Structure 1
Amino acid sequence: MAVIILSAGCMDYIPALVNNHIITDDNVTHQKWQSEFLEDREKFKTNPENPLEWTLKGMDIAATHGHEEALEYYDIAIELDPEYAFPYYEKAFSLFILQRTDEAEECLDKAVEINPQYKPLAKKLRSDFIREES
């Protein structure tokens, strides 16, 4: 079973425990993408048909150019594999930053629907942004 560490807005993507949350993905294809990325990050950046690649590019764009620009990358990832929770979670993060709360909530709901292990992270992300708005 592969491990995905979610570090919204950051390219840190290594198998480790972050904030006491580890997200696993039982989908064999998703595990393969993660393994390939961890084996050779540079080579991995050349497959336009890989949703993980688009999600990671979106995270990089969010960190360097802004969250609005990153949305396009997350949308491509979602279009390539609508059953992959990771891009929905990252898109939700960017949407919260952009104060597009309703859309962010929809993305978080979809991430949790696809992979219930996102529930604690979704709860934390919601509470972080609710607290900031208060």
Structure 2
Amino acid sequence: MKRQILGILTVSVTAPYLEAAILCAFIQGRLTSLSDLAWGIYFMGTVGLLKYGFTIVVVSLSAALTMKSLAVSAPAITISAYSFLGLCFGGHVLASFVQKQWWLLPSFGITGAICGWIYWRVVMGRPS
């Protein structure tokens, strides 16, 4: 269970900053320098972590417990589950303006897929 908790905490801290990096890539024309890009990722990631950090931990914990109870060890299932959770979380975050900003929704799915892979790597460890 130690690896699952470490995976949950890793994903919960990584997700907001990864989402911020992907969103900054989507709005790349507005960020003119590397320092603007770094500041944008830092600012948006920190705000996301402070605002949604507890929710991300709860959702990651429920996903981890479900996968542990089903004895899931395949990376494709873990990545797909986290991608779906990322899309659902993105729908929640963007609910008030999703019709105008619908093109931002796939970034949450991408973030979820990457976080699913990170979680799988932390939990499964290195192959022996």
Q: Which of the five TM-score ranges fits, normalised by the shorter chain?
A: 0.3 to 0.5
Report which of the two structures shows the higher radius of gyration computed on alpha carbons.
2
Higher relative contact order (CA 8 A, sep 6+): 2
Q: If each structure's strand is expressed as a fraction of its own residues, which one has the higher value?
A: 1
